[in-house]
Amino acid sequence: SLTRQARQRRVITAMWEIKAKNAEAALVSRTKEMEAERDKYAEMAKRYEARLAELESRQAMIGKRDQKAKMVEDAAVKEAVEAGKKRLLAAKKQLRVEKFEAMVNDKAQSLKERWAELQQREEEADRAVAEAREAEEEARDAKELHESVATQLRAKLEALSKKEEVLAKREATLADFREEMEERYGKDYSEAKRKWR
């Protein structure tokens, strides 16, 4: 009878040892999976941070380029407008003088030819003003293009920020799962985690 009880105790003990080993093996396997997942998310976070830093650097470069381009464009537009105004005023002044001289001389044929020449000069002056306005419009279009590029970069930065928030939530979920495992298995989980490391 005592021998039978001893055998039963050994059988029960062996069963519990097998169950404990199976539980420990499952815990170690799950711990490895969790660590691998953590490393994967950490690597993703590094890549996102590097990409974010690159985009911020590009945005800063574009900002400096935009500022420099705007200064150059403003100066070019101002110079073109002022030059156009000066050419127009000089041409009109010269036109008035030459028209008056033509009328004073009272030479019909000569007056017609001179008048045609004056008209041509006036058209050239108008074209100069039109060119100045066109240069101003081109400068404005370039400014709008730079602003559009900056807006696209800001949108990409916001998208990266949202991805980082999702990654942070996943890491928090993983931490909660570890805490739950430690609370549920206690010493066994800590021992399995130590052996795996």
Contacts (Cβ under 8 Å, ≥6 apart) of 174: 34, 37, 38, 41
**Residuewise pLDDT in 10s, the chain (197 residues):** 667 777 888 888 888 888 888 888 888 888 898 888 888 888 888 888 888 888 888 888 888 888 888 888 888 888 888 888 888 888 888 888 877 776 667 666 766 777 788 888 888 888 888 888 888 888 788 788 878 877 888 888 888 888 888 888 988 888 887 777 777 766 555 555 555 55
The predicted structure's pLDDT at residue 126: 86
Largest CA distance in the chain: 152
Phi-psi region of 107 (alpha: psi -120 to 50; beta: other; left: phi over 0): beta
The predicted structure's pLDDT at residue 121: 86
pTM of the predicted model, to two decimals?
A: 0.28
Tokens of 48: 């996102």
Tokens of 110: 């000569």
Closest CA to 164 of 15, 14, 53, 29: 53
Question: How far from 108 is each of 97, 116, 118, 122, 134, CA to CA, in Å?
Answer: 17, 12, 15, 21, 39
